Structure 1
Amino acid sequence: MSNLFKFVCISFLLSLTKVSLSMEVSSGSLVTINHFKSAFVPSRPVHIWLPEGYSTSETYSVLYMHDGQMLFDSAVTWNKQDWGADEAAAVLNRSQNMKKFIIVAIENISEIRWQEYFPQKTLKDFQSKPAFTKLGIDINSLTSDNYLKFLVTELKPYVDKNYSVATDRANTFIAGSSMGGLISLYALLEYPHIFGGAACLSTHWPGRNPTSDYLLTDAILDYVTSNLPSPQVHKLYFDYGDQTLDAYYPPLQQKVDEILKKAGYQRPLWTTKFFPGHAHDENAWKSRFDQPLMFLLAK
């Protein structure tokens, strides 16, 4: 088994440990709901990061993030890496050029992560194709639509009610990496009236196995082409590296960029950044996390 294939396998099982050691943050404070109940998906931990000096006399924007157990504390992650989300957010919350914001970090459930993060509507026109059946995917097992219902109709109302946040689209954002990048884009395309922007780091455009044919990629790109919202309203951030799993992404991201250009997306509401030498891991995302934050949350 090649080292790259081993890495791919590990990446798809992004959080093998069902954490719930207590998370620590180096800046700000973390409120943890160990079992956020939902009518749509299994309950899971949700962590709400608040910046230093958080006050109900101020109003904050909200950034929703996937793979929440990987964001703050390397002591509790499966690979001993984390995004340093609290550190980057703390610095930018002190900037006069940035909106003040909180982070809502939703933990994944490793056994069903792919089913919750793969955009299920991308496959509705592919069910009858013979090539699709060879992929061995059970359409009925996909639950990303329910996952988004959980975010939009259960979690967001809870945050809006219990924290001093702006509830409008212009102050509501979503972000993730790899499959988390896919579900972030899917959230914005499915709920453009809820999310004002999405940051998609190292987006896993292959959909599943990056060494197979790109039937899933074709389905994803067709869906994106048909469902992009107004290029005058929404912010879209993409990035990618060229090492480990990210080595598969450059030509695929370039196809996405062409779709965005044809749809009228341009700066300052869209950017795609290439980071040569960056791998597909939390250390890489940590090193550049300030980039999507500044893009989404600049005043």
Structure 2
Amino acid sequence: MVLKENIYIEPFKLYRTLHIYIPDNIEAGERLPVIYMFDGHNLFYDHDATYGKSWGIRETLERYNQKIIIVGLECNHEGNMRLCEFSPYSFNDKYFGKVKGLGKITIDWICDVLKPYIDSKFPTKPQREYTGIGGSSMGGLMSVYGIGIRSDIFSMGICVSPFYNYVFRRLVEDISNSFMHNDTKIYISWGNYEFKTKKQLAVGTEKNLIVTRIFTQKGAKVFPHLMVDGAHNEESWEKETIIWLSELGLFKK
């Protein structure tokens, strides 16, 4: 089942909807891994999704009888605030204007406030080895950043189609200079149809491989994946759910 719950985000002085997937068949005393994901409204149901198509994660988990908890944080839909809250860095965009990077505040709130709340209310395995972070596009950027700077909390990262425009140099600097536990596992992916030209595909691929090398040098186990025929949309990302479940060791037969 998917629960919806409003939670107050003190640093931003506003309420936000959580979309929380809990397996229906949890046994008495059973505790489960948790993945914290961005754009929660796009994860489970098409009627909630911004563009009318979700990742379909609920159907995938139930089809394969996979028992994990997903906590999806809905974005701020006002103006360009999604970009602000889901970017660790400020930048200027010709379409969206000035983006004020509030992403570090978001990550710290997830780690220091949301996670303890979820652990107190639901049957989670609270240890970092059972805790992950994931998302796509801006959420993919936040997942690269989050796993890079807060591996004290997260041992798993699901970094799908990360947004790197304007911020890549600063991201590389931060994740290069941050401590990472060497048992961290990271899935990072990009699709060839996300890029208009072969040159753009080559540049995008190299950026993801740079991130892969940084994390690998820190001892992490990284699974880089170029999705053939992959696009920058939920229909494409839906196909990856079973892949990252398997690569991160979350798929249980």
If the length of structure 2 is used for normalisation, what is the TM-score?
A: 0.86
Q: Do structure 1's residue 218 and structure 2's residue 169 form an aligned pair?
A: yes
* Residues 235/249 of structure 1: CA separation in 2 closer, same or farther (3 Å cut): farther
Q: Which amino acid aligns with 1:90?
A: E
Residue 197 of structure 1, CA deviation:
1.1
Identify unmatched segments of 5+ residues in structure 1.
Answer: 1-28, 95-99, 124-131, 208-215
Give, as a single letter, the amino acid of the residue that structure 1 aligns with 2:191.
G
2:33 corresponds to 1:66: no
Which secondary structure does the structure 2 equivalent of 1:148 belong to?
Answer: helix
Q: In 1, distance between residues paired with 2:97 and 2:150?
A: 25
CA contact (8 A) 1:56 1:164 kept: no
2:54 is aligned with 1:102: no
Q: Label 1:250 to 1:179 Cα distance change in 2 as closer, same or farther (>3 A).
A: farther
Aligned twin of 1:156 = 115
Looking at structure 1, the residues matched to 65 and 163 of structure 2 have their Cα atoms a distance apart, in angstroms, of 29
Secondary structure (helix, strand or coil) at the match of 1:158 reads helix
Contact map agreement 2:60 2:242 (CA 8 A) in 1: yes
Supply the distance in 2 between the matched residues of 1:237 and 1:134 (Cα, whole angstroms).
28
| Pair 1:222–1:246, CA change in 2 (3 A) | farther
Structure that is richer in strand per residue: 2
Q: Larger relative contact order (C-alpha < 8 A, sep ≥ 6)?
A: 1
Q: Does 1:200 align with 2:165?
A: no
Q: 1:178 to 1:245 in 2, by over 3 A?
A: farther
Q: Give a deviation string over 1:240-262, Cα, whole Å, max 9, x none.
A: 11114586454233234245336
Aligned counterpart, 2:8: 37
Cα RMSD (Å) = 2.7
- Structure 1 counterpart of 2:115, one-letter code: K
Partner of 2:237: 285
1:118 to 84, 87, 108: 87
Structure possessing the higher radius of gyration over alpha carbons: 1
Separation in structure 2 between the aligned mates of residue 249 and residue 221 of structure 1, nearest angstrom: 19
| Post-superposition offset of 1:54 | 2.0
Contact 2:149 2:180 in 1 (8 A): no
Name the amino acid aligned to 2:72: A
Residues 1-299 of structure 1 correspond to what in structure 2 (within 5 A)? 29-33=1-5, 35-41=6-12, 42-94=14-66, 100-111=67-78, 112-120=81-89, 141-207=100-166, 216-227=167-178, 229-230=180-181, 232-244=182-194, 248=200, 250-261=202-213, 264-265=216-217, 269-296=221-248, 297-298=250-251
Paired residues in the alignment total 245
* Cα distance in 2, alignment partners of residues 134 and 177 from structure 1: 19
1:119-154 CA distances to partner (integer Å, 9 max, x unpaired)?
A: 23xx7xxxxxxxx88989757x32112211221122
The 2-side partners of 1:219 and 1:227 are apart by: 12
8 A contact 1:240–1:249 mirrored in 2: no
Shift of 1:275: 1.2
Task: Return the alpha-carbon distance in structure 1 between the equivalents of residues 169 and 202 of structure 2.
Answer: 15
Which secondary structure does the structure 1 equivalent of 2:55 belong to? coil
